[in-house]
Structure 1
């Protein structure tokens, strides 16, 4: 989970070659991510289009063919980069779900958020709610169900009576990996 978070942070600072390497590493390390990744891309197509249009038309620069209503060349270049970054984030999300699965994700989130309990935050409640959301996302809803939810006519399916969060044992290799990831991220941020 920490490796995924480091990848998400790193994506914000990478250009096309770095993004390509990250995508290649994700796909070659876990080829099973291709199908879910394409599903995520299909679901996010309107978000991708909206992101591209907003960035392309709102970045200052030289207008395309000197039309006052057209996006700028700089805006289109930045929009393309941001769209590729979003595609890379979706690939890393697919990688996380394929590698950890639902139970591993919940266990990892429980472990990452556990230190926040000393601040008085109820992280267990957050993990349980997330597990219910993930459970709900797995069920197929009828077409137009969101409209029924807005008017209060939706059928709600009961959730599970109990949720089990499995925590793997922490090993020395986990500590070493965490230190290496932290050093790489900090080194990358300082450069």
Structure 2
């Protein structure tokens, strides 16, 4: 293992922090972030485009609702024209959603199932003090992921009630790994960035 490798739990927390940070971006900073996201790598961009295609109707609906449903100055003299304010809102929210899709694509491409389960187990470990069993939680997560991945997509939803449809859960090893020095640096940076975001009013 590389000395600079991060613990899966640190990567998971950093990914969640990234999703939260995306919601604070707007304007030129948002546009620059989208450009940088396109440079994340061919595999990540390809998976991101697949997610974008799957959500195309959501994006189109969001654009129409915001562009035509937000009060403001019309783009051209007409009662049915979109407004400048609506287009600005549509750009901001759709841009943020595109960044979220790219973040999800990057997460799926770089985080294997064993790493995800290891990260989840480590993140849930402190909850033992309140009676929550992280082992049970990780097993349920594994079952849900395997079920979603292997379940066939029938045209008739009643086939889902057929007892013959089974899912092979298999087994996944969870590696016991301690947090290293770089993990502490990254987590401290996340906390510091969160504090600065709160102080600055949460907008970039």
Does 2:183 correspond to 1:174? Answer: yes
Provide the TM-score with structure 1 as the length reference.
Answer: 0.80
Residue 170 of structure 1: how far off its partner (Å): 1.5
Unaligned runs of 5+ in 2: 1-11
Encode CA deviations 1:76-107: one digit per residue, 9 max, x unaligned.
Answer: 22112211110100101111122222222222
Encode CA deviations 1:138-159: one digit per residue, 9 max, x unaligned.
Answer: 34744xx264159846963323
Residue 25 of structure 1: how far off its partner (Å): 4.6
C-alpha RMSD of the superposition: 2.9
Residue 38 of structure 1: how far off its partner (Å): 1.0
Do the aligned partners of residues 74 and 173 (structure 1) sit closer, same or farther apart at CA in structure 2, a change above 3 Å counting?
same
Residue 21 of structure 1: how far off its partner (Å): 4.0
Could you tell me how far apart the structure 2 residues matched to 1:155 and 1:23 are? 45
Does 2:104 correspond to 1:114? Answer: no
Could you tell me how far apart the structure 1 residues matched to 2:34 and 2:163 are? 39
Provide the TM-score with structure 2 as the length reference.
Answer: 0.76
Unaligned runs of 5+ in 1: none
SS in 2 for 1:156: coil
Equivalent runs, 1:118-157 vs 2, <5 Å: 118-139=129-150, 141-142=152-153, 145=154, 147-149=156-158, 152=161, 156-157=165-166
Aligned to 2:74: 63
Aligned length: 189
